[in-house]
């Protein structure tokens, strides 16, 4: 008789995966409306959430073919959210600050254009480079 993995086992597997494979550091930038100004325009606060992740600027385009224009995908990112972290949304931005333990890596800012795998082993997002 096969047993289904329990929450503790899958949690341990997720933590081990994060320790071994998620060596990059990024910030998830999400805008939250905090109110309105005197002219009725929304006031927005940008929140930064630091994450340990796996980033690649060579995305697997065939994985995203059904949901996005593969020519617009510039990168992919995968990470496991910490307890209490907000769920990422399309249009949130990602700023990579460390890649392969290189603290001076400058990849710029990316926008999340699609999200896959919101399960135990984390989020996987397709990214598009943002021109600033």
Q: Domains, the chain, ranges and CATH? A: 7-129 (2.40.10.270)
Q: What is the pLDDT of residues 92-116, one digit of tens each?
A: 999 988 877 666 667 789 999 988 8
Q: Which of 12-16, 64-68, 87-91, 119-123 has the lowest mean pLDDT?
A: 12-16
Q: What is the pLDDT of residues 26-66, one digit of tens each?
A: 899 999 888 998 998 989 899 998 888 888 888 887 778 77
Q: Which of 11-20, 45-54, 74-83 has the highest mean pLDDT?
A: 45-54
Whether residue 117 is predicted with pLDDT greater than 60 in this model: the reply is: yes
Mean pLDDT of the chain: 80
Question: How much is the pLDDT for 18?
Answer: 60
> Please, are residues 16 and 6 in contact by the beta-carbon 8 Å criterion?
no
| Backbone phi and psi for residue 65, each to the nearest 5 degrees, phi listed first | -55, -40
- The C-alpha atoms of residue 61 and residue 99 are separated, in whole angstroms, by 21
Using the structure block, give the residue that is written with the tokens 């333990």. Answer: 101
Question: How much is the pLDDT for 17?
Answer: 65
Q: Which of 1-10, 31-40, 112-121 has the lowest mean pLDDT?
A: 1-10
- The C-alpha atoms of residue 109 and residue 123 are separated, in whole angstroms, by 18
């Amino acid at each position: 008789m096969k047993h289904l993995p329990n929450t503790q086992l899958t949690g341990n597997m997720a933590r081990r995966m994060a320790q071994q494979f998620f060596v990059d550091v990024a910030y998830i930038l999400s805008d939250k409306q905090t109110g309105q100004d005197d002219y009725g325009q929304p006031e927005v606060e940008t929140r930064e959430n630091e994450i340990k992740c796996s980033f690649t600027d060579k995305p697997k385009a065939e994985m995203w073919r059904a949901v996005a224009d593969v020519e617009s995908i510039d990168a992919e990112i995968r990470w496991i959210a910490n307890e209490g972290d907000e769920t990422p949304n399309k249009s949130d931005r990602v700023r990579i600050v460390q890649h392969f333990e290189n603290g001076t890596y400058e990849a710029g800012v990316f926008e999340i254009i699609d999200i896959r795998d919101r399960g135990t082993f984390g989020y996987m997002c397709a990214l598009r480079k943002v021109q600033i």
